[in-house]
Structure 1
Amino acid sequence: MAASMANGMKNSFIKSLLNSEGSHRLTNVRYATGLRLRRSGKLPGVARTFEQRLEDMKLTKQAKPPNVNIGFPLTKNSLIEEQTKAVIKKKRRQLLAIVQDGKLKIDLDKVDEESWNTNKQEQLHRLTEHYGIFRDLFGGAYFYPHVNLDVSYDIPDDYELPVYHGNRIEPSQTGRPPNVYYEAEPDTLWTLLMTAPDSHLQDNNTEYLHWLVGNIPGNEISKGEVLCDYLQVFPVKGTGFHRCVFVLFKQEQKIDYSSDRLNPNTCSLRERSFKTFDFYEKHQDHITPAGISFFQCQHDESVRDVFWNKLGMKEPCFEFVFPASYHPKQKKFPHKQPFDLYLDRYRDIKDIDEEVLREKLKSVHPFKPPTPPPKYPFLHYNDEVRGKPSWIKMKRKHMLLKNMQWRES
């Protein structure tokens, strides 16, 4: 009855509105019962005003609008396209006959190489966007790499470890400055940047600057102005993979980088705190991003040496330490619990591992390959455990099934 009375009050209220002010008022009224008459509105006090929505849509100082190309415009290699079209047009009939006969053989490696050379800019742009580098370094703005940035690290035995676009490199292999090469005219100026957007210990929106060289004449890195000395990467233990990015900027003129220069051989993480977005925004009238290369790295033992001997601080660690398993006080006569499993709770894990290892070594011969597992593991089970306690029967069953501590690691 109460529900019918409430519905009657709603209907009478709506009828009064129709009679007094017309049906067009229905789209603008919210009444006290909680019905929303505006299609896209919310309850009073919850709906955001038009001014608040505009504020949300406005771009802050720290973010550039997405889908803005801050680099050189994308240009297709028209010469390659014209040559390809001419060859296909000339040999179309011959290729069609070979395909129909099933005699056409294609070198897939050559096809991949040709595809890479033809669409290199778009593919590099797609890879860089996939790894979130445009989002984290330039606030969503992007560019197409027009310059091939070849970066490699020297490793023992006169080998070079190249940096591609997302390959994995160990921190111990980045102890020395890398070899950087790109094609450039001698009278041009360039800026090379190396940054780590995932390594900052306090602020996720800040990077650590590992290397910065400006006013480089042509491709001679050694003759450039070193604004920040090179520092090996140091991904902290327990933080997963870190991205290390090289960005090459082309300068329109010589730039005064005095305000960006750090102290020589500085190892202060506070001084090396850096934002590529702010650096580019400061010099955007004179520099244009033209090349990019990056790799991934994860913690290894060399990171400890960097923190202790170069940075002068203890090595942080973000690995979760699991607390020890809680076991109640041991009882002399546990009720309705497996005898061996109950005792194993209070044994040292090293003793259990030693017991398992000794049991496994009984079936291992030093000069023969391991015996394959039996097809029917329970074929002789009854003969082995006949007349023995139940806990030994259960233990033997776990051994045959490779369960619990007998599981193959």
Structure 2
Amino acid sequence: MSASSAFQSSKIVPDVIPSPPAKTITLKYPSGAQAQLGNELTPTQVKDQPTVSYEADPNAYYTLVFTDPDNYDGPELVYREWHHWLVVNIPGSDVASGEVLSGYIGSGPPEGTGIHRYVYILYKQPKKLSFDEKRLSNKSIEGRAAFSTKKFAEKYNLGTPVAGNFYRAQFDDYVPLLYKSLGA
């Protein structure tokens, strides 16, 4: 299945982004798990930051968004998206050299909320940009709720996503440990 059709059939288009990416990001976790356009992984498998690879123009800058559009199930769509990782001004495919706006936090779907989609979206930036978002460590949950990938992309004129990937996850025994590490 192509990234484009997977993003549409899973309703990431239009829930997170208005149009699907054409290419797939490769995501390999230290646990050995790998995201495969909607496969199910456990929070335990994805607790550590993955190695991210994708086809890139070495002279361009990229933005990587990792978000959960199923964070909140109520009628107010604004609360639905919770971003887990945000890296900008990535030179080519060197994610480690990008500017981290929000440190990586693994999946933590609350008990009883069913399966969540965890979505990675890559944008090719028009140029190196200046971002005014507050910098968040991987221990901070402040400012992560009520995120909108669409609005963030519009704010910085990021255009259509060039690549993406996603997996699904539901509560497991690691989630309470994650919440504790976040002071929740």
Q: Secondary structure of the residue that 1:294 maps to in structure 2?
A: strand
Q: 2:27 aligns with which of 151, 159, 167?
A: 151
Aligned residue runs from structure 1 range 43-192, under 5 A = 123-138=2-17, 141-145=18-22, 147-155=23-31, 160-192=32-64
The amino acid that maps onto 2:15 is D
Q: Which has the higher contact order (CA 8 A, sep 6+)?
A: 2
1:275 counterpart = 2:148: yes
Q: Secondary structure of the residue that 1:272 maps to in structure 2?
A: coil
Q: CA deviation at 1:222?
A: 0.6
Could you tell me which residue of structure 1 aligns to residue 86 of structure 2? 212
Assess if the C-alpha contact under 8 Å between 1:198 and 1:204 holds in 2: no
Q: Measured at CA, do residues 144 and 303 of structure 1 come closer, stay the same or move farther in structure 2, by a change above 3 Å?
A: closer
Equivalent-residue separation in structure 2 for 1:131 and 1:279 (angstroms): 21
Q: 2:167 aligns with which of 295, 298, 307?
A: 295
More helix by share: 1
Q: Measured at CA, do residues 136 and 154 of structure 1 come closer, stay the same or move farther in structure 2, by a change above 3 Å?
A: same
Assess if the C-alpha contact under 8 Å between 2:40 and 2:167 holds in 1: yes
Structure with bigger gyration radius: 1
1:306 counterpart = 2:178: yes
When the two structures are aligned, how many residues end up with a matched partner? 181
Assess if the C-alpha contact under 8 Å between 1:267 and 1:310 holds in 2: no
CA RMSD of aligned residues (A): 1.8
Gaps of 5+ in 2: none
Could you tell me which residue of structure 2 aligns to residue 242 of structure 1? 116
Q: Measured at CA, do residues 127 and 173 of structure 1 come closer, stay the same or move farther in structure 2, by a change above 3 Å?
A: same
Assess if the C-alpha contact under 8 Å between 1:262 and 1:271 holds in 2: no
Instruction: Provide TM-score, normalisation by structure 2.
Output: 0.90
Q: Measured at CA, do residues 245 and 168 of structure 1 come closer, stay the same or move farther in structure 2, by a change above 3 Å?
A: same
Equivalent-residue separation in structure 2 for 1:304 and 1:162 (angstroms): 23
Q: Secondary structure of the residue that 2:33 maps to in structure 1?
A: strand
Equivalent-residue separation in structure 2 for 1:125 and 1:186 (angstroms): 24
Equivalent-residue separation in structure 2 for 1:264 and 1:311 (angstroms): 10
Assess if the C-alpha contact under 8 Å between 1:193 and 1:212 holds in 2: yes
Aligned residue runs from structure 1 range 187-206, under 5 A = 187-200=59-72, 203-206=76-79
Equivalent-residue separation in structure 2 for 1:214 and 1:197 (angstroms): 20
Q: CA deviation at 1:266?
A: 4.3
Amino-acid identity (%): 32
Render the CA deviation track for 1:124-179: whole Å, top value 9, x for unaligned. Answer: 222211111011113xx21341x331111111xxxx22111100000011111011
Instruction: Provide TM-score, normalisation by structure 1.
Output: 0.42
Assess if the C-alpha contact under 8 Å between 2:19 and 2:160 holds in 1: no
